[in-house]
C-alpha cells in the first residue's frame, strides 16, 4: 500500500501558519521578558529609595547630593589621598550619590580592577543598574559615575532649585553658598559643591521626582558644559536659548516649564550620545547641550521613577512637576 506524502502546497501552508504564529508570539515573549526586567528594575529602585531616605534621616533630613569632591583640597587637584576610591564608582576625587548611599545597600561594584586600580571589566553592579539599561553602556566605567549606572538623580529640579539655582559670582543663589568653601579657580568641572535636597522644603513629595532611569545625573544642566566660563557665566544666554523651548509659564521664568512632558532621550548604542542631552527620541533637537532630561524609557516605552515620598512608579508618558524649594 502506497503512503501518501504531503503536497508542496500543504507544506507551504504549514510553514506560513508557523511563520504567522511566530510573528504574533515573539513580540509577546519579548514584552514578557522586558516586563520581568522591569520588575527587577522596580526592586532596585525601591532599594535606592529606601537608602536615600535612610541617608536623609542620618543627615538632618537632607538627601544625599549629586556628588561631593571629598578627596580634593578645596576642590582642586591633586587628590588628597592617592589611594582613595569611592566604594561603588571607584571615583578617585570624591563620591557620587551611589557611593554616598552605599552603606545603606552594600550592593554592587562598578568595575573589576587590575593591580594598578584601573577598571578592566564591568563589575556586578547590584541595585545600581537596570538589566535593560546596562546593556547600553559599552564603557567599563569604574572611575566615574557617568559610565557605571543607569539610574540618575533628578539634579535640576529637586537638588538645584529652578528659581534660585546653584550658581556662581553675583548670580542669584551664587557666591559662597555655591562654592561651599572651595576655591573659585577649582570650579572648572561641575556645579561647585552640589547640595542635597532638604526634605522639609519639598512641599509636594508625592509629585517630586528624585530619581529616573538614565545617566548618574538627570535633568537639564542649562549649560553648554562644563566650566565657570560657561555655567553660569553666560547663564542669561543659555536661558534665552532655552526660552525658545520652554516659555515662561505658571510663575516660572522663561527657560523652565512648570509641568511639561519628560523628553525621551534618543536611545543609542553609544551611551555617551544619550548623556550629551541634545537628541530626543521624537526627532527634536534641544537648543543647548545637556538641556534635555537625558532620560531613558527602556521598558516597553516607559520607565520607573522614584518620588520624594519613597514610592516607585512605572510611567510611559509622564510630566516633570517642578515642585522645589520655591514652589507653593
CB 137, CB 268: distance < 8 Å: no
- Long-range contacts of residues 30-35, Cβ cutoff 8 Å, at least 24 apart: 31/300, 34/132, 34/299, 34/300, 35/299, 35/300
What is the reported pLDDT for 83? Answer: 87
- Long-range contacts of residues 132-135, Cβ cutoff 8 Å, at least 24 apart: 132/34, 132/37, 132/38, 132/41, 132/298, 132/299, 133/41, 133/213, 133/214, 133/296, 133/298
210 to 152, 270, 284, 311: CA distances (angstroms) = 8, 25, 25, 10
What is the reported pLDDT for 167? Answer: 42
What is the reported pLDDT for 103? Answer: 95
Look at residue 326 and tell me if it is in a domain: no
What is the reported pLDDT for 50? Answer: 96
Instruction: Print pLDDT tens along the chain (328 aa).
Output: 556 677 888 888 888 888 888 888 777 777 778 888 899 999 999 999 999 999 999 999 888 888 888 888 776 778 889 888 889 988 888 888 999 999 999 888 888 887 777 788 888 888 998 888 887 776 676 666 677 888 988 876 665 544 444 444 344 444 445 555 566 666 554 444 566 777 887 777 887 888 988 888 887 665 444 444 444 435 566 666 667 666 776 666 666 655 566 667 776 656 666 666 777 777 877 766 666 777 888 888 888 999 989 999 998 766 665 544 444 4
Look at residue 160 and tell me if it is in a domain: yes
Look at residue 58 and tell me if it is in a domain: yes
Look at residue 3 and tell me if it is in a domain: no
Look at the block and give the residue holding cell 550629551.
Answer: 276
Look at residue 174 and tell me if it is in a domain: yes
Look at residue 148 and tell me if it is in a domain: yes
Range of the domain at 280: 13-321
What is the reported pLDDT for 233? Answer: 39
Task: Write down the H helix ranges in 59-140.
Answer: 97-105
Look at residue 129 and tell me if it is in a domain: yes
Four-residue CA torsion sign, 176, 179, 182, 186: negative
Look at residue 189 and tell me if it is in a domain: yes
What is the reported pLDDT for 173? Answer: 41
What is the reported pLDDT for 227? Answer: 44
- What is the bridge-based pairing of β-strands 119-122 and 76-79? unpaired
Measured at the CA of 157, the angle between CA 107 and CA 306, to 5 degrees, comes to 35
Number of domains in the chain: 1
Amino acid at each position: 500500500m502506497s503512503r501518501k506524502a504531503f503536497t508542496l502546497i500543504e507544506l507551504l501552508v504549514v510553514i506560513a501558519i508557523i511563520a504567522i504564529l511566530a510573528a504574533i508570539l515573539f513580540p509577546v515573549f519579548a514584552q514578557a521578558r522586558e516586563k520581568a526586567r522591569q520588575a527587577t528594575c522596580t526592586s532596585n529602585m525601591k532599594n535606592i529609595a529606601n537608602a536615600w531616605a535612610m541617608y536623609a534621616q542620618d543627615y538632618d533630613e537632607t538627601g544625599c547630593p549629586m556628588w561631593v569632591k571629598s578627596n580634593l583640597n578645596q576642590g582642586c587637584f591633586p587628590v588628597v589621598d592617592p589611594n582613595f576610591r569611592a566604594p561603588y564608582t571607584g571615583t578617585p576625587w570624591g563620591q557620587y550619590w551611589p557611593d554616598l548611599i552605599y552603606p545603606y545597600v552594600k550592593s554592587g561594584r562598578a568595575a573589576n580592577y587590575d593591580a594598578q586600580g584601573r577598571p578592566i571589566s564591568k563589575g556586578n553592579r547590584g541595585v545600581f543598574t537596570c538589566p535593560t539599561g546596562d546593556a547600553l553602556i559599552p564603557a567599563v566605567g569604574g572611575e566615574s559615575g557617568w559610565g557605571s549606572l543607569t539610574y540618575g538623580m533628578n539634579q535640576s529640579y529637586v537638588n538645584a532649585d529652578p528659581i534660585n539655582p546653584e550658581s556662581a559670582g553675583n548670580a542669584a543663589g551664587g557666591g559662597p553658598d555655591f562654592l561651599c568653601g572651595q576655591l573659585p579657580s577649582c570650579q572648572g568641572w561641575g556645579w561647585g559643591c552640589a547640595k542635597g535636597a532638604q526634605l522639609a522644603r519639598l512641599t509636594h513629595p508625592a509629585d517630586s521626582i528624585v530619581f529616573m532611569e538614565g545617566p548618574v545625573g538627570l535633568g537639564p544642566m542649562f549649560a553648554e558644559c562644563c566650566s565657570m566660563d560657561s555655567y553660569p557665566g553666560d547663564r542669561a544666554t543659555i536661558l534665552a536659548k532655552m526660552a525658545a523651548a520652554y516659555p515662561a509659564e505658571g510663575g516660572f521664568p522663561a527657560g523652565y516649564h512648570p509641568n511639561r512632558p519628560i523628553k525621551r532621550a534618543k536611545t543609542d548604542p553609544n551611551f555617551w550620545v544619550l548623556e550629551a542631552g541634545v537628541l530626543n527620541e521624537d526627532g527634536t533637537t534641544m537648543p543647548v547641550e545637556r538641556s534635555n532630561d537625558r532620560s531613558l524609557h527602556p521598558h516597553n516605552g516607559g520607565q520607573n521613577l522614584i518620588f520624594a515620598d519613597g514610592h516607585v512608579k512605572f510611567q510611559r508618558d509622564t510630566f516633570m512637576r517642578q515642585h522645589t524649594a520655591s514652589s507653593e
